[in-house]
Amino acid sequence: MNRVVVVASHRRSGTHLMLDSLRSNVRDVQRRFMTLERIDPYHEQHLSVAEFDRQLRAQKGIVLVKTHTLPGAEAWPDRETGAYAAELLGVTPTIYVHRDGRDVLVSLYRFVQSYSPEVAGQSFAEFLRSRHTGRDAVGVNRAAYWQQHVLAWLDSNPTTTGSYEGLQGDFEATLHSIAERVDLRLRPALSQVRLEPRRRRIPVVDRLLRVLGLRPAGSTAIRPQAGRVGGWRQVFDDADLAWFEAEASEGMRRLGYALDGEET
């Protein structure tokens, strides 16, 4: 193994958009990324800490590690996983991916509706005010948890941050800035990843079209939406906005988002 780079984010913030942008455009990056949460004993694809570390070290080039967890050891269910995660995150270059919290929560609502009958029967207002379901922050509502996640990661001093809005609206400048801060070598011609539903592909044909520049890199995102920046305006009402502002205004401010939806 040569290098590890962590890509951290709250769910539905553009995690896979960042991972795919790096996989498609950075030299020496492994095509397959690893997910840190697999060391959690409750994960459906659980790996022991020893096996995860073995697989991580066995890879060559630059290995991307994805995580949605909070940065501290206390976010993990036991001492072994917490100590390992804290050590890895403490010494590894990290990109924290962020997105307007309102768009995050709208995307999360639609995503959770796709597999949860309970949430499928909820209005967005009910979902917004409901409790975060993870074990890392019991009893916290979803807007407050988004802010907690943002502040915890910003306070941990990640190597750099990258915004979903930047990847969508100013792709090349955003990727160049991230690469410079994390010391990554970009390919001469950059390929922007497009968000699209997964479709059946013929790998050889796909690879050839991408080499010829005739098809942008596809997304590995799980159930990707259209991902339009500012789509929250069609979902939030005045009461939802007031609730969100009361619970998450500091996170928005620290990330540079104004509460009218425009970045400052």
Look-up of token digits 């890509």: 7
Lay out the sheet containing 34-35: strands in order across.
Answer: 34-35, 62-67, 3-9, 94-98, 160-163
- pLDDT single digits (tens) 91-115: 999 999 999 999 999 999 999 999 9
CATH of 3-255, one of 1.10.10.10, 1.10.357.10, 3.40.50.300, 3.40.50.10880: 3.40.50.300
The answer, yes or no, to whether residue 160 has pLDDT greater than 50, is yes
> Would you kindly state where each structural domain of the chain is located, as residue ranges?
3-255
Count of beta carbons in the 10 Å neighbourhood of residue 48:
13
Separation of alpha carbons 63 and 30, rounded Å: 6
pLDDT band, residue 8 (cuts 50/70/90): very high
Predicted TM-score (pTM) of this structure: 0.89
Please tell me whether residue 137 adopts helix, strand or coil conformation: coil
Separation of alpha carbons 83 and 235, rounded Å: 40
- pLDDT single digits (tens) 30-49: 999 999 999 999 999 999 99
Torsion angle in degrees (nearest 10) through CA of 180, 184, 185, 190:
-80
pLDDT band, residue 258 (cuts 50/70/90): confident
Residue 138 has a pLDDT of: 81
Residue 109 has a pLDDT of: 97
